[in-house]
Amino acid sequence: MSDIKMDVLQLYPIGEVRQIDSISGGIINDSWRVRTESGHYILQRLSDRAFDERVIADQWQVLDWLHRRNFRWAPRLILTARREKFVRQDGRIWRLMAYIDHDPIATRTDEKILAATAVLAEFHRAMKDCPYDPIYKIKDFHDSPVIWENLGDLAFGQDRDDIVKSMTDEVIYLHEVMPSYFLPNDLPETLIHGDPRFDNFLFRGEEVAALIDFDTVMRANELIDIGDFCRSMCRRETLFNQELFDKIITQYLSINHRYYIAALAKQATALITLELSARFFMDCFSPPGQEYFGWDAEKYLTARDHNLARGKMYLEYFWNIIKNSL
């Protein structure tokens, strides 16, 4: 692996490589921090389960738009010495980004979360007039009706092994309740981030240093991002922080006002939580080694076991979101 990384890095005009350190925490792509004589960089190997070169094309378009609009929290991609946007090596796609100085470990605080809320609102403001239409989208990503249909195939299919039986009640419940939380079909669309969870914000102190991971940009309503953001930021195990949710929506609307967001934000949060629960359940049936989500081999015997646990955990979290009614 070290030789492959060096082969990739030699194609970039970054000088002598002095140190390469693995970065943990990603559940899709693999990342390393690279120290060279010219500076520090982030090297990424994209997941071949989820992405291809179209993701790189989309990312360059979106980041160029953001930089031209002085959105100061966007990362910068690095071209190879031959002015290419990515490297294909060992059958995988690799890219290099400038390293952004940030705290290596960011402890969640309300101050950080509200700072991230402001950056998300500024991102949506910056993207509202962008005409670009992404050429890549993860299959069925944030497509609630399609996820619901696929979940129905799982809930009512005939092939039932032991693990399917262990989740049958949860999957049937998900299938029954999910349509009640679909968002209206007539909401305006813009370019959204697609995955604005806490780990995709870098921090220095209580301030945001960057918004990262633009692999999931897509055309949709801002509520998809807001729902996913609140799903991530307001969760403590399976508990939902209603007070923090209210602060997030107030902060967001102070910067990017959309008349429908206050009324639909909680519904969107519940919907994205149901989506994620459903995706974990469905990933239980991916062939071994081809799962979408990464898994913890130290805590679980198989990826299926971990996906099953996560599917059940997010369903419990959904119940806590709606406990006080929408």
Residue 281 maps to which CATH number? 3.90.1200.10
- Is 56 part of any domain? yes
| pLDDT recorded at residue 137 | 87
Q: Which element (helix H / strand E) includes 122?
A: helix 110-127
pLDDT tens, per residue, the chain with 326 residues: 458 999 999 999 999 999 999 987 666 788 999 999 999 999 999 987 668 899 999 999 999 999 999 999 999 999 999 999 999 998 899 999 999 999 988 999 999 999 999 999 999 999 999 999 999 988 889 999 999 998 887 767 655 555 566 677 888 899 999 999 999 999 999 999 999 999 999 999 999 999 999 999 999 999 999 999 999 999 998 999 999 999 999 999 999 988 899 999 999 999 999 999 999 998 888 888 888 888 888 899 988 889 999 999 999 999 999 986 54
Domain boundary among 98, 127, 159: 98
Same domain, 88 and 225: no
Looking at the structure of the chain, the number of domains it has is 2
Same domain, 196 and 313: yes
Same domain, 75 and 137: no
User: In 138-205, at which residue ranges do the beta strands (DSSP E only) sit?
Assistant: 190-192, 201-204
- The DSSP-derived string for 233-274 is HTEETTEE-HHHHHHHHHHHHHHS--TTHHHHHHHHHHHHHH
| φ, ψ of residue 239 in degrees (nearest 5) | -90, 150
Same domain, 18 and 145: no
Same domain, 118 and 242: yes
C-alpha of 122 from chain center: 18
- Is 116 part of any domain? yes
What is the domain extent for residue 63? 2-98
Same domain, 91 and 120: no
Domain boundary among 98, 133, 157: 98
Same domain, 268 and 294: yes
Same domain, 56 and 122: no
The predicted model scores a pTM of 0.90
- Is 117 part of any domain? yes
> For the domain that residue 77 is a member of, what is the CATH number?
3.30.200.20
| pLDDT recorded at residue 164 | 60
Same domain, 171 and 238: yes
| CB of 49 closer than 8 Å to CB of 290 | yes
Vertex 164 angle, CA 160 and 166, to 5°: 125
- Is 42 part of any domain? yes
Q: Residue 281 has which token pair?
A: 């359940």
Chain position carrying tokens 């520090």? 40
Same domain, 35 and 144: no
Same domain, 45 and 161: no
- Is 326 part of any domain? no
- Is 226 part of any domain? yes
- Is 69 part of any domain? yes
- Is 207 part of any domain? yes
| pLDDT recorded at residue 1 | 46
Same domain, 115 and 199: yes
Instruction: Classify residue 161 by burial, with Cβ atoms within 10 Å: 0-12, 13-18, 19+.
Output: exposed
Domain boundary among 98, 124, 143: 98
Q: Residue 309 has which token pair?
A: 């646990």
